């Protein structure tokens, strides 16, 4: 048509051109961003413009274009002196937050906050060059001392030596083993050696099963656990051979203890009438 003017196409590559596009889209219906013919070109340009920034933070250029889209919809972008400067800064911050969120294994919302972003990225222990104990003292465990005797080994050794002592002076081996092991089991549940002595002294069922006379049963208890008299608590007679073996006495030393040998010999089951 003569005299009519063709509308000048708005360019969005400069700040004012972008402002004009954003103003037009903000006044359109909600589907303006979907139907406007310049939006697709604008998003392609944003993906190209921020491609290097996206790759720097390990993102796809179209992810950066999405961040730009969110920034362009804000009122602050339209009213800024330089809309592209606002959009660029928003894309930069979001790219950084996305990268930090992946490293920290948290949400982007949390990664934007200094209380979370100050931490270093999460890392697998297997990715470290140093061994796990070098990472933190809490992971350090002293190697076991293979030369040190195990507590259970010392107890078992004391039990075996006690059984051997009874057998050497003529007590039946099977009866002695059953009796010593039973005494040790009850001793583990008792509050003290004197308490265990009194409980076992009254244990008629155990004495019957072992087929021991009362005198032999009491002698076994007194030799193993010691005399229950508090006045003799810290003497050899008050300690009993189990404790003496545990604290370092040897079987040979017990074989030279006349009091222990006399008690065992005088009350051996084979000597009962």
* 45 band by pLDDT with thresholds 50, 70 and 90: very high
> What confidence tens digit (pLDDT) does each residue in 190-207 have?
888 888 888 888 888 888
**H or E segment and range at residue 46:** helix 37-49
Among 74-78, 96-100, 124-128, 185-189, the least confident range: 124-128
Q: Where are the domains of the chain?
A: 15-126, 151-271
CA atoms lying within 13 Å on the CB side of residue 170: 13
Which residues have CB under 8 Å from 222's CB, separation 6+? 197, 240, 263
**Matching residue, tokens 């009438």:** 273
pLDDT for 124 equals 63
pLDDT for 184 equals 87
Is residue 184 helix, strand or coil?
helix
Closest CA to 44 of 74, 13, 19: 13
Q: How far apart are CA 43 and CA 21, in angstroms?
A: 12
- Give the pLDDT mean for 18-28: 84
Q: Say if residue 20's pLDDT is above 70.
A: yes
Extract long-range pairs of 249-254: CB within 8 Å, 24+ residues apart.
250/161, 251/161, 251/164, 251/165, 254/161, 254/165
- Give the pLDDT mean for 217-228: 87
Q: How far apart are CA 251 and CA 115, in angstroms?
A: 68
Q: Say if residue 148's pLDDT is above 60.
A: no
> What confidence tens digit (pLDDT) does each residue in 231-268 have?
777 777 778 888 888 888 888 888 888 888 888 888 88
* 56 band by pLDDT with thresholds 50, 70 and 90: very high
CA atoms lying within 13 Å on the CB side of residue 196: 22
Which residues have CB under 8 Å from 251's CB, separation 6+? 161, 164, 165, 245
Q: For the chain, give the number of residues.
A: 273
Mean pLDDT score across all residues of the chain: 80
* 84 band by pLDDT with thresholds 50, 70 and 90: very high
Q: Say if residue 134's pLDDT is above 80.
A: no
Q: Say if residue 140's pLDDT is above 80.
A: no
Is residue 4 helix, strand or coil?
coil
* 187 band by pLDDT with thresholds 50, 70 and 90: confident
Structure tokens at 1: 């048509």
- Give the pLDDT mean for 17-45: 82
pLDDT for 8 equals 42
CA atoms lying within 13 Å on the CB side of residue 183: 30
Structure tokens at 256: 């030279």
Structure tokens at 249: 């006495």
Among 16-25, 129-138, 148-157, the least confident range: 129-138
Residue 237, judged by CB atoms within 10 A of its CB (0-12, 13-18, 19+), counts as middle
* 35 band by pLDDT with thresholds 50, 70 and 90: confident
């Amino acid at each position: 048509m003569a005299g009519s003017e063709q509308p000048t196409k708005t360019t969005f590559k400069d700040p004012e051109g972008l402002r004009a596009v954003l103003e037009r889209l903000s006044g359109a219906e909600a589907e303006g961003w979907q139907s406007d013919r310049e939006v697709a070109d604008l998003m392609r340009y944003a993906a190209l413009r921020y491609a290097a920034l996206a790759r720097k933070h390990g993102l796809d250029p179209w992810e950066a274009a999405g961040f730009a889209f969110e920034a362009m919809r804000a009122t602050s972008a339209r009213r800024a002196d330089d809309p592209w400067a606002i959009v660029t800064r928003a894309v930069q911050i979001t790219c950084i937050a996305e990268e930090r969120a992946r490293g920290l294994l948290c949400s982007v919302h949390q990664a934007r906050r200094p209380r979370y972003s100050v931490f270093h990225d999460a890392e697998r222990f297997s990715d470290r060059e140093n061994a796990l104990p070098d990472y933190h003292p809490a992971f350090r465990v002293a190697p076991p001392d293979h030369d040190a005797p195990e507590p259970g080994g010392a107890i078992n050794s004391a039990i075996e030596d006690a059984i051997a002592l009874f057998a050497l002076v003529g007590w039946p081996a099977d009866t002695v083993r059953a009796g010593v092991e039973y005494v040790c089991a009850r001793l583990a549940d008792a509050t003290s050696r004197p308490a265990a002595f009194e409980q076992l002294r009254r244990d008629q069922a155990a004495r019957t099963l072992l087929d021991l006379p009362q005198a032999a049963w009491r002698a076994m208890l007194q030799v193993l656990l010691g005399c229950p008299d508090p006045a003799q608590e810290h003497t050899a007679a008050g300690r009993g051979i189990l404790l003496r073996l545990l604290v370092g006495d040897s079987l040979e030393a017990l074989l030279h203890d006349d009091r222990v040998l006399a008690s065992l010999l005088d009350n051996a089951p084979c000597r009962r009438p």
